Amino acid sequence: MIYRTHGTCSSKIEVDIDADHIIRSVAFTGGCNGNLKGISSLVKGMKAEDVIEKLQGTICGFRNTSCPDQLALALKAAISQAD
Evaluate if pTM is beyond 0.85: yes
Query: Quick one: average pLDDT of 6-34?
Result: 97
The secondary structure element, H or E, covering residue 35 is helix 33-43
Confidence of residue 82 (pLDDT cuts 50, 70, 90): confident
d(CA 16, CA 2): 9
Residue boundaries of the structural domains of the chain:
2-82
Tell me the HSE value of 57 on the side-chain side, using a 13 A CA sphere.
2
pLDDT greater at residue 83 or residue 38 = 38
Beta bridge partners of 3: 13
Confidence of residue 26 (pLDDT cuts 50, 70, 90): very high
pLDDT at 83 over 90: no
Angle subtended at Cα 9 by Cα 6 and Cα 10, rounded to the nearest 5 degrees: 75
**Chain mean pLDDT for the chain:** 97
